[in-house]
C-alpha cells in the first residue's frame, strides 16, 4: 500500500516500513526532554580509530560491572584478571572488585607485556566519560579501547612474564 504524502513516498513504500518509522519518530519525541543529558562526542579530538564511544546502562558503579559492560567481557574473566592483579584504575592496582568508578576514571585490564618491548603493555581500557543517574539504573557513556599499547605503569609496574603464578 503506497502513501499519498510526497514526503513519505520518498521514505516509505509499505505499511510495515511506515510503522517502524513512526515508532522511531515517537521515541525521538519522548526522548527530546533528555537533550541536556546528551554529550557531543563528535568534536572530541581524543577519539582515534582504535577507540569507540559506547553507551550502556548498569545498576552499579563497581569496577567489575563497568568492565563487563564496557568491554563485553564475561564476569568470570574479569574475576580471573582481578586475582592475577591485571586490573588498574587510573594506573593503581585494584584492591577490591567492588571499588567504585567515577567520571573521568580509566579502568585497564592488562592483556600482556609487549613482545617487542618489555617496557610496554597491551591493555584494554574503559574511560568513563559521563554518568547520568536514572530512576532504576545508571546510564554511562564511556570510551572503549579494546587493544591499546602503553608504557608500563610508574607506580607498581606490571611484571608479567612466564612465572606469573609465583607468589
**Predicted confidence (pLDDT) per residue in 124-147, tens digit:** 999 999 999 999 999 999 999 999
pLDDT bucket at 18, cuts 50 / 70 / 90: very low
Helix spans in 12-121 (H): 15-31, 63-71, 75-83
Average pLDDT over residues 34-54: 58
Q: Are 106 and 127 in contact (CB under 8 A)?
A: yes
Among 166, 142, 143, which residue's Cα sits nearest to residue 85?
A: 166
Report the share of the chain in percent with pLDDT over 70. Answer: 67
- Whether 148 has a pLDDT exceeding 60, the answer reads yes
Strands 106-113 and 138-151: unpaired
Helix (H, G, I), strand (E, B) or coil at 112: strand
Q: In this predicted model, what pLDDT tens digit does every residue of 103-120 receive, in sequence order?
A: 999 999 999 999 999 899
Q: What is the pLDDT at residue 48?
A: 67
Give tens-digit pLDDT for 66-88. Answer: 999 999 999 999 999 999 999 99
Distance CA(11)–CA(64), nearest Å, equals 44
CA–centroid distance for 34 within its chain: 21
Amino acid at each position: 500500500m503506497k502513501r499519498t504524502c510526497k514526503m513519505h513516498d520518498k521514505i516509505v513504500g509499505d505499511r510495515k516500513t511506515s510503522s517502524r518509522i513512526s515508532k522511531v519518530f515517537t521515541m525521538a519525541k519522548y526522548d527530546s526532554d533528555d537533550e541536556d543529558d546528551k554529550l557531543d562526542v563528535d568534536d572530541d579530538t581524543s577519539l582515534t580509530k582504535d577507540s569507540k564511544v559506547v553507551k550502556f546502562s548498569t545498576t552499579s558503579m563497581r569496577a567489575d560491572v563497568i568492565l563487563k559492560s564496557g568491554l563485553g567481557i564475561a564476569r568470570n574473566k574479569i574475576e580471573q584478571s582481578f586475582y592475577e592483579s591485571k586490573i588498574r584504575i587510573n594506573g593503581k592496582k585494584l584492591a577490591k572488585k567492588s571499588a567504585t568508578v567515577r567520571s573521568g576514571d580509566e579502568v585497564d585490564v592488562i592483556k600482556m607485556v609487549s613482545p617487542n618491548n618489555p617496557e610496554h603493555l597491551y591493555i584494554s581500557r574503559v574511560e568513563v566519560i559521563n554518568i547520568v543517574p536514572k530512576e532504576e539504573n545508571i546510564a554511562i557513556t564511556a570510551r572503549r579501547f579494546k587493544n591499546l599499547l602503553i608504557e608500563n605503569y610508574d607506580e607498581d609496574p606490571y611484571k608479567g612474564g612466564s612465572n606469573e603464578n609465583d607468589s
